[in-house]
Structure 1
Amino acid sequence: MTGMMESVKARPAKGGSEYRRVEPEEEEELDGAEWARRAEAGSRRRKTAERYVFTCALFASLNAILLGYDVGVMSGAIIYIQKDLHITEFQEEILVGCLSVISLLGSLSGGRTSDAIGRKWTMGLGAIIFQTGAAIMTFAPSFTVLMIGRLLAGVGIGFGAMISAVYIAEISPAAARGTLTSLPEICINLGILLGYVSNYAFSGLSEHISWRVMLGVGILPSVFIGVALFVIPESPRWLMMEKRVPEARAVLLQISESEAEVEERLAEIEEAANIMKSVNSEDKAVWRELLNPSPAVRRMLYAGCGIQLFQQITGIDATVYYSPTIFRDAGIKSDQELLAATVAVGFTKTIFILVAIFLIDKVGRKPLLYVSTIGMTVCLFALGTALTLRKHAEGLISPNLGIDMAIFAVCGNVAFFSIGMGPICWVLSSEIFPIRLRAQASALGQVGGRVGSGLVSMSFLSMARAISVGGMFFVFAAISTVSVVFVYFCVPETKGKTLEQIEIMFEGGKEWKGGGEVELEDTQHLIQGDKKSFSLG
Structure 2
Amino acid sequence: MSHSPVPPVSPGTTQLPPLTAGPYRRRLGRVALIATLGGLLFGYDTSVINGAGGFMSEDLGLSPLGLGVAVSALLFASAVGALTGGRISDAIGRRTTILIMAVLFIVGVALVVTAPGLTLVVAGRIVLGLAVGTASVVVPVFLAELAPYEIRGSLAGRNEFMIVLGQLLAIIMNAIIGNLWGEQFPGVWRAMFLLAAVPAVFLLVGMLRMPESPRWLLDKGRRDEALEILTRLRPENRAEPELEDIARARHAESQRVSMDLKSILRNKNLVKIVLIGCGLGIFQQTTGINAIQYYGERVLEVAGFARGGALIASIAPATISVVAAVVALQMMDRVSRRKTFLWGYGLVSGFHVLIGATAQLMPETDAKPFVLLALITAFVGSMQLCLNVATWVTLSEIFPQKMRAFGMGISVFILWMTNSILGLFFPTIIAALGLSSTFFVFAGLNVVAFLFVLRWVPETRGRTLEQLEEDVTTGEIYLPRASRAEARSDKS
TM-score (normalised: structure 1): 0.76
Comparing 344-353 with 422-431, which one deviates more in the overlay?
Answer: 422-431
Structure number with greater Rg is 1
- Pair 1:213 & 2:191 matched: yes
Identity of aligned residues (%): 27
In structure 1, the partner of 2:386 is 420
In structure 2, the partner of 1:112 is 87
> Which whole-Å CA distance do the structure 2 matches of 1:171 and 1:120 have between them?
11
Match of 1:340 among 312, 319, 334: 312
Change (3 A) 1:517 1:159: farther
Match of 1:185 among 151, 160, 169: 160
In structure 1, the partner of 2:347 is 375
AA at the equivalent of 2:79 = L
> Which whole-Å CA distance do the structure 2 matches of 1:500 and 1:238 have between them?
24
Q: Is the 8 A contact 2:80 2:133 kept in 1?
A: yes
AA at the equivalent of 1:307 = L
In structure 1, the partner of 2:50 is 75
In structure 2, the partner of 1:199 is 174
> Which whole-Å CA distance do the structure 1 matches of 2:23 and 2:262 have between them?
40
- CA displacement at 1:403 relative to structure 2: 1.5
Match of 1:311 among 266, 274, 284: 284
In structure 2, the partner of 1:144 is 119
- Pair 1:85 & 2:75 matched: no
In structure 1, the partner of 2:96 is 121
Q: Is the 8 A contact 2:215 2:246 kept in 1?
A: no
The superposition leaves residues 79-121 of structure 1 with CA deviations (integer Å, 9 ceiling, x where unpaired) of 1112211111210111112211121121111132122123333
In structure 1, the partner of 2:3 is none
Equivalences for 1:32-431 in 2 at 5 Å? Answer: 42=18, 44-45=20-21, 56-171=31-146, 177-203=152-178, 204-205=180-181, 206-230=184-208, 232-244=210-222, 263=241, 267=245, 270-271=248-249, 273-279=251-257, 288=261, 292=265, 294=267, 298=271, 301-332=274-305, 334-363=306-335, 365-390=337-362, 394=363, 399-430=365-396
Question: What do you get for the CA RMSD once the two structures are aligned?
Answer: 3.9
- CA displacement at 1:496 relative to structure 2: 6.8
- CA displacement at 1:511 relative to structure 2: 3.8
Q: Is the 8 A contact 2:74 2:128 kept in 1?
A: yes
> Which whole-Å CA distance do the structure 2 matches of 1:269 and 1:140 have between them?
49
Q: Is the 8 A contact 2:468 2:477 kept in 1?
A: no
Comparing 215-224 with 509-518, which one deviates more in the overlay?
Answer: 509-518
Q: Is the 8 A contact 2:401 2:469 kept in 1?
A: no
AA at the equivalent of 2:104 = I
> Which whole-Å CA distance do the structure 2 matches of 1:224 and 1:466 have between them?
43
Could you say what secondary structure the match of 2:314 adopts?
A: helix
Q: Is the 8 A contact 1:108 1:440 kept in 2?
A: no
The superposition leaves residues 167-196 of structure 1 with CA deviations (integer Å, 9 ceiling, x where unpaired) of 444455666555444433322211111111
TM-score (normalised: structure 2): 0.82
Comparing 83-92 with 110-119, which one deviates more in the overlay?
Answer: 110-119
The superposition leaves residues 427-452 of structure 1 with CA deviations (integer Å, 9 ceiling, x where unpaired) of 34445556676556544332111111
Change (3 A) 1:303 1:73: same
Change (3 A) 1:240 1:488: farther
> Which whole-Å CA distance do the structure 2 matches of 1:247 and 1:432 have between them?
35
- CA displacement at 1:378 relative to structure 2: 1.6
- CA displacement at 1:245 relative to structure 2: 5.1
Could you say what secondary structure the match of 1:423 adopts?
A: helix
Change (3 A) 1:410 1:254: farther
Comparing 352-361 with 336-345, which one deviates more in the overlay?
Answer: 352-361
Q: Is the 8 A contact 1:162 1:442 kept in 2?
A: no
Q: Is the 8 A contact 2:287 2:383 kept in 1?
A: no
Q: Is the 8 A contact 1:166 1:439 kept in 2?
A: no
Could you say what secondary structure the match of 2:367 adopts?
A: helix
Change (3 A) 1:423 1:273: farther
Could you say what secondary structure the match of 1:374 adopts?
A: helix
> Which whole-Å CA distance do the structure 1 matches of 2:227 and 2:272 have between them?
32
Change (3 A) 1:235 1:221: same
In structure 2, the partner of 1:450 is 416
- CA displacement at 1:163 relative to structure 2: 2.3
The superposition leaves residues 114-163 of structure 1 with CA deviations (integer Å, 9 ceiling, x where unpaired) of 22123333233222212211111011112211111111111111111122
> Which whole-Å CA distance do the structure 1 matches of 2:148 and 2:462 have between them?
9
Could you say what secondary structure the match of 1:140 adopts?
A: coil
Q: Is the 8 A contact 2:45 2:128 kept in 1?
A: no
Q: Is the 8 A contact 2:345 2:449 kept in 1?
A: yes
Unaligned runs of 5+ in 2: 1-11
Q: Is the 8 A contact 2:321 2:381 kept in 1?
A: yes
Change (3 A) 1:277 1:56: same
Q: How many residues align?
A: 476
Q: Is the 8 A contact 1:134 1:153 kept in 2?
A: yes
> Which whole-Å CA distance do the structure 2 matches of 1:384 and 1:186 have between them?
30
AA at the equivalent of 2:436 = G
